[in-house]
């Protein structure tokens, strides 16, 4: 354009071919606006061979209406939750414009973004679609978008496993001990890097699951599950074991019984005494009590009398037992009865025959 004198032409009546063109432009004179844009008035001077001059002026105008070129678009980034908002990773991603790069043929590029905050998802997770804007010195801009995501894929850690619970069978109190153990998650503890305070514990125990053995004894494996705020789970298991090693309690000991001989073995009285366990009673905290005794027969004393020391045994469902002893006695304290009194004998004295009579 300068070489062509901005398109200007000139003639001189004296010697057109001797006209010399000059101008007052210097490189960069036009850079008076944003970036490399702007304008400058250039004066072209036509000088003839005699030094006479004429001028014409025109303006160079540089405009910048072209936005920067997005050479590399922003990329999504997903990070594992650290429970603190992953601030360092988020800030690094934002300050790198999500990995985007842009260039502009006219000026430098300035970056900005519209990030405000992550969504409030489970635990300390969240996401945000961010628009990164590359702006040149003249306000032309181009954008690229990408998403920053904090996710939780890490299950809670079991810091302390559940511990077994071993109890002596006691129907009255053992459920309270089990309930306390369950409420404490069997002693287990758990933490979660994304939100420890939100861990919820559950278990698969149902009352009576442990009653698989004799009486109310037995065992059951209980699984405790720790669930974090994002639904991720870890488990730990422990066993409830109920044993019964305690014999029944003898509440009332057996009592001796002595009966007067009836000549027939006093069978009814003996059987009633045996069936009542000699009057003894026993109880067991874990199960019912079964009675037995070691009676075989009375001793063979005078007449139909006799005696026997009997051991009565109270046994629970697990074979634990306790005993009490007592004696059954048939005695004879009754003198013979005189059913017909004796009659007098009257004889005539006769030494030879009276003794025989």
Q: Give the integer Cα–Cα distance in Å for 355 and 347.
A: 10
Q: In what order do the strands lie in the sheet with 20-23?
A: 20-23, 38-47, 53-62
Render pLDDT for 315-344 as a digit per residue (tens, 0 to 9): 999 999 999 999 999 999 999 899 999 998
- Could you tell me the CA-to-CA distances from 231 to 79, 119, 154 in Å, in that order? 18, 18, 10
Given pLDDT bands bounded at 50, 70 and 90, which one contains residue 54?
A: very high
The pLDDT score that the predictor gives to residue 158 is 98
- The more confidently predicted of residues 32 and 124 is 124
Q: Give the integer Cα–Cα distance in Å for 51 and 103.
A: 49
Render pLDDT for 274-311 as a digit per residue (tens, 0 to 9): 999 999 999 999 999 999 999 999 999 998 999 999 99
Backbone φ and ψ of 17, nearest 5°: -70, -10
Backbone φ and ψ of 198, nearest 5°: -95, 5
| Residue 279 in tokens | 């009057």
The pLDDT score that the predictor gives to residue 50 is 92
Q: Which residue has the tokens 């079991």?
A: 158
Query: Exposed/middle/buried for 242, CB within 10 Å: 0-12, 13-18, 19+?
Result: buried
The pLDDT score that the predictor gives to residue 34 is 87
Q: How many C-alpha atoms does 159 have within 13 Å on its Cβ side? A: 7
| Residue 204 in tokens | 């698969």
Q: Give the integer Cα–Cα distance in Å for 80 and 125.
A: 9
167 and 64 Cβ atoms separated by less than 8 Å:
no
Render pLDDT for 134-164 as a digit per residue (tens, 0 to 9): 999 999 999 999 999 999 999 999 999 999 9
Q: Give the integer Cα–Cα distance in Å for 209 and 249.
A: 27
Q: Give the integer Cα–Cα distance in Å for 282 and 316.
A: 10
The pTM for the full model equals 0.76
Residues belonging to the chain = 357
Strands 233-243, 165-168: pairing kind: parallel
Residue 147, C-beta contacts closer than 8 angstroms, at least 6 positions apart? 76, 77, 127, 128, 129, 130
Q: Give the integer Cα–Cα distance in Å for 296 and 244.
A: 31
Q: In what order do the strands lie in the sheet with 200-203?
A: 165-168, 233-243, 218-227, 200-203
| Residue 209, SS3 per DSSP | coil
Output the CA angle 65-66-68, nearest 5 degrees.
135
The pLDDT score that the predictor gives to residue 23 is 95
Render pLDDT for 210-266 as a digit per residue (tens, 0 to 9): 999 998 899 999 999 999 999 999 999 999 999 999 999 999 999 999 999 999 999
């Amino acid at each position: 354009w300068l070489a062509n004198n901005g398109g200007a032409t000139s003639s001189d009546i004296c010697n057109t071919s001797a006209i010399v063109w000059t101008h007052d432009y210097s490189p960069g004179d036009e850079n008076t606006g944003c970036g490399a844009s702007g304008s400058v008035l250039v004066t072209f001077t036509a000088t003839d061979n005699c030094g006479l001059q004429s001028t014409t002026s025109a303006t160079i105008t540089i405009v910048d209406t072209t936005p920067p070129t997005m050479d590399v678009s922003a990329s999504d980034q997903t990070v594992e939750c650290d429970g603190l908002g992953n601030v360092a990773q988020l800030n690094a991603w934002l300050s790198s414009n999500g990995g985007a790069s842009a260039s502009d043929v006219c000026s430098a590029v300035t970056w900005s973004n519209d990030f405000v905050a992550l969504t409030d998802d489970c635990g300390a997770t969240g996401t945000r679609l961010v628009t990164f804007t590359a702006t040149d010195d003249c306000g032309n801009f181009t954008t690229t978008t990408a998403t920053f995501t904090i996710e939780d894929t890490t299950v809670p850690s079991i810091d302390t496993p559940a511990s077994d619970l071993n109890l002596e069978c006691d129907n009255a109190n053992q459920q309270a001990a089990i309930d306390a153990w369950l409420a404490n998650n069997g002693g287990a503890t758990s933490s979660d890097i994304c939100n420890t305070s939100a861990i919820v514990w559950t278990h698969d125990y149902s009352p009576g699951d442990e009653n698989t053995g004799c009486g109310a004894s037995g065992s059951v494996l209980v699984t405790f599950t720790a669930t974090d705020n994002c639904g991720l789970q870890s488990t730990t298991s422990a066993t409830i074991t109920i044993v019964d090693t305690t014999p029944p309690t003898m509440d009332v000991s057996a009592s001796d019984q002595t009966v007067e001989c009836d000549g027939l073995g006093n069978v009814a009285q003996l059987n009633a005494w045996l069936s009542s366990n000699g009057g003894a009673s026993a109880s067991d905290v874990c199960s019912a009590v079964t009675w037995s005794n070691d009676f075989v027969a009375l001793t063979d004393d005078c007449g139909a009398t006799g005696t026997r020391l009997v051991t009565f045994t109270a046994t629970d469902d697990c074979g634990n037992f306790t005993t009490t002893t007592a004696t059954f006695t048939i005695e004879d304290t009754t003198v013979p009865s005189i059913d017909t009194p004796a009659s007098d004998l009257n004889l005539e004295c006769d030494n030879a025959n009276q003794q025989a009579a």
